[in-house]
Amino acid sequence: MIRFLVLSTLAAGLFYGLYCLTLRRDRWLKQSQWYLLTTLWFSVIFPWFTLPSNLATAAQTVLPTEGYMATLDEITISAYASMRTIDLADIHLIGVALCLGYLLFQIGAQTVTILRLRRKHTVYRATDGYNIPRNASLVLLDDDTAPYSFFNQIVVGTRGLSDDELRCILAHESLHVSRYHTADIICARLLCCGAWFNPFAWLMLRELRAVQEFQADAASIGSCGRGGYLHLLYRQATGTGYGHITNNFLSINIKKRIVMMNKTQSRFGAWKALAALPVAAVLVMAGCQPANGEAVEQEEIPFEATNVDESAPLDANTDEVFKVVEVNPEFPGGEEALYKYLAENIKYPVMAKNNKVEGRVYITFVIEKDGTVSDAKVLRSVNEELDAEALRVINAMPKWKPGTQRGVPVRVQYNIPITFKLQ
């Protein structure tokens, strides 16, 4: 869960920062819209991606078959699965449920409002002479209700509006309808519900709303002229007219809209969106899980068996690591004492137990000439908590009786499989 939180926040932060540096101040509105939607989707989904199985296999560790893993049976650490307590995953799900509940409430309340208005007022369509999309419905109210659109429904309060101003408003809201802006916002809101903890996801949602308004402003200018539309925005900003010219989910800063209307498209602005591709590629390679849900493992630790000429004397100062020796290293008290030590000291991690994580961890380490344990590493990983617990106990082992080759103490590689199993 922590992995998802970190990677999702990191990805959204990188994409949002890249957007602010490239497309935010440019008038390539369609490219900005698709950039925000796709990168927001990617930021929420990609931590759950899996690498193709052939890539995962290429990265897996090949466990050594030499050494003492073959002579030492694996040790199994068992624990009873405890009653599930509230953890980070539960908190995330609670947040998702609350966000989804609020979104569904908003959609339901707006739907009920639209249905009531349709029952009480005349519903107009494009065939009635209004310049709206063919699939759209228009409800005109004799009050100062702020104009808005919701899916293919347009609602306008006409009090104080001239015919030209009504035409501007209808052009604005028709663009929202024809571009399915409500569906885009709901889709983005659903993604934000899945990443409610991620501030950059909500910032990208805000930018998407702004881009939609910029697109609708451009449509209005084309319909009624720049001067007339700016006058309409001025009335809105000063409060001398009616409410916001917006869809159901938006109230955008008037100054930003006017600034954007006066901008022109840069020459290479459309290509700026492609800057997200290398960022996405790096995130995928760095953060995606391999197939089958296993972590990508490190390459085999290069402990090479040493072939020694038995007729030649062995240098007592050699630092070679042996896999096979004449006299094996011995844990104090023998192999049975080793099993007892591991069983008594390894504790099943609470988070792994609560999440019902099981598996076999392979640990490799070196028994030095003086019997101390060094270079303990994970050969095959199962879970961060299980790996850390196995390494903790291995590193805390007492001194062994060192292994010897032709009577000389030498460094010896030792491999132990530790199985964590819930009952």
Closest Cα to residue 276, out of 23, 39, 48, 45? 39
C-alpha distances out from residue 292 to 52, 414, 417, Å: 10, 28, 20
Contacts of 191 (CB under 8 A, 6+ apart): 40, 41, 44, 201
pLDDT at 238 over 70: no
Contact (CB, 8 A) for 362 and 74: no
Flag whether pLDDT at 171 surpasses 60.
yes
State the pLDDT at residue 64: 43
Tell me what pLDDT residue 154 has: 93
- The pLDDT of residue 53 is 42
pLDDT score for 335: 85
pLDDT, tens digit (0-9, with 9 covering 90-100), for 282-296? 777 666 555 444 444
Residues 202, 204, 205: CA angle, nearest 5 degrees: 60
pLDDT, average across residues 237-265: 54
pLDDT digits (tens, 9 = 90+) for 27-84: 788 888 988 999 998 888 877 765 554 444 444 444 443 444 333 455 665 554 444 4
Residues 6+ apart with CB under 8 A from 44: 8, 12, 191, 194, 195, 198, 201
Backbone angles phi, psi at 327, to 5 degrees: -120, 115
d(CA 190, CA 171): 28
Q: Which residues contact 189 (CB under 8 A, 6 or more apart)?
A: 103, 205, 249
Q: What is the pLDDT of residue 1?
A: 65
Which pLDDT value is given to residue 62?
41
Rounded distance between C-alpha atoms, residue 382 and residue 419, angstroms = 10
Q: What is the mean pLDDT of residues 102-118?
A: 93
What confidence score (pLDDT) does residue 50 get? 56
**Banded model confidence at residue 227, pLDDT cuts 50, 70, 90:** confident
Q: Measuring CA to CA, which residue among 243, 241, 216, 219 is closest to residue 231? A: 241
pLDDT for the residue numbered 242: 37
pLDDT 10s digits, 380-415: 888 888 999 999 999 999 999 999 888 889 999 888
Q: Is the pLDDT of residue 221 over 90?
A: no
State residue 274's pLDDT score. 74
Identity of the amino acid at 162:
S
pLDDT at 123 over 60: yes
Percentage of the chain lying above the pLDDT 70 cut: 74
More confident residue, 97 or 300: 97
> For residue 117, is pLDDT > 90?
yes
Note the pLDDT of residue 26.
Answer: 78
85 vs 282: CA distance, rounded Å: 36
> What pLDDT does residue 89 have?
76
- Higher-confidence residue of 330 and 253: namely 330
pLDDT reported for residue 84: 47
Residue 413 CA to residue 379 CA, distance in Å, equals 12
Q: What percent of the chain has pLDDT over 90?
A: 28
Q: Rounded to the nearest 10 degrees, what angle do helices 199-224 and 226-238 cross at?
A: 130
- Using 50, 70 and 90 to split pLDDT, how confident is the model at 24? confident
Does 298 have pLDDT greater than 50? no
pLDDT at 108 > cutoff 90? yes
Asked whether residue 118 carries a pLDDT value surpassing 90, the answer given is: yes
φ/ψ (deg, to 5) at 127 = -70, -15
Least confident of 17-21, 235-239, 275-279: 235-239
Domains in the chain, start-ordered, CATH in brackets?
2-48+89-287 (no CATH), 60-83+301-422 (3.30.2420.10)
More confident residue, 229 or 202: 202
Residue 419 pLDDT: 85
Contacts of 384 (CB under 8 A, 6+ apart): none
**pLDDT one-digit tens code per residue, 201-220:** 999 999 999 899 888 888 88
